[in-house]
Every structure is written in structure tokens, then in C-alpha cells.
């Protein structure tokens, strides 16, 4: 973690007091997307399967794609 003044803070498990007026920026991975998964374009789901982003089981179970 890094304070707005560039100070790098110790990682996981530490407790840090942030001085008043300072900012802490948390950068986290991922995102869940949005919208109804069953409305996602079939071609885009299959492209995700080809690229290894999701499995065929996920295409069937999550997206309702009948492969």
C-alpha cells in the first residue's frame, strides 16, 4: 500500500494509522461484471472458452450455453 506522498506501507497483516489529511489508495484485482449473464452474447462466451478464461462447464452452468 502506498500513501499519497509516495510512502510505501508494509503489506498484509499490518495495522497502519493514516494521518489526518492523508489518503490511502487500495488497488484490487477483478470485477464481477454487470448485467444478466444469460443475456451475454453466445459468441463472446465461446471466445472466453477458447481463450481459457472460463471452462465449458462454466459456459453451460453460468451462462446457460448449450455446447
**What residue segments make up the domains of the chain, in order of their start?**
2-61
Average the pLDDT over 31-50 and give the result: 86
Residue pLDDT, tens place only, 30-39: 767 778 887 8
Residue pLDDT, tens place only, 4-26: 787 777 666 667 788 899 988 88
Q: What is the pLDDT of residue 41?
A: 92
d(CA 56, CA 31): 21
pTM for the predicted model, two decimal places: 0.50
The per-residue DSSP string of the chain comes to: -EETTSPBPP-TT---PPPTT--EE---------S-GGGS-HHHHHHHHHTTSS-HHHHHHTT----
Rg of the Cα atoms in the chain:
20
Amino acid at each position: 500500500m502506498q500513501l499519497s506522498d509516495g510512502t510505501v506501507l508494509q503489506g498484509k497483516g499490518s495495522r497502519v494509522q493514516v494521518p489526518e489529511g492523508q489518503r490511502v489508495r487500495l488497488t484490487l484485482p477483478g470485477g464481477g461484471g454487470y448485467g444478466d449473464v444469460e443475456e451475454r452474447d453466445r459468441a463472446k462466451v465461446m471466445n472466453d472458452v477458447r481463450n481459457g478464461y472460463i471452462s465449458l462447464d462454466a459456459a453451460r452452468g453460468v451462462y446457460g450455453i448449450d455446447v
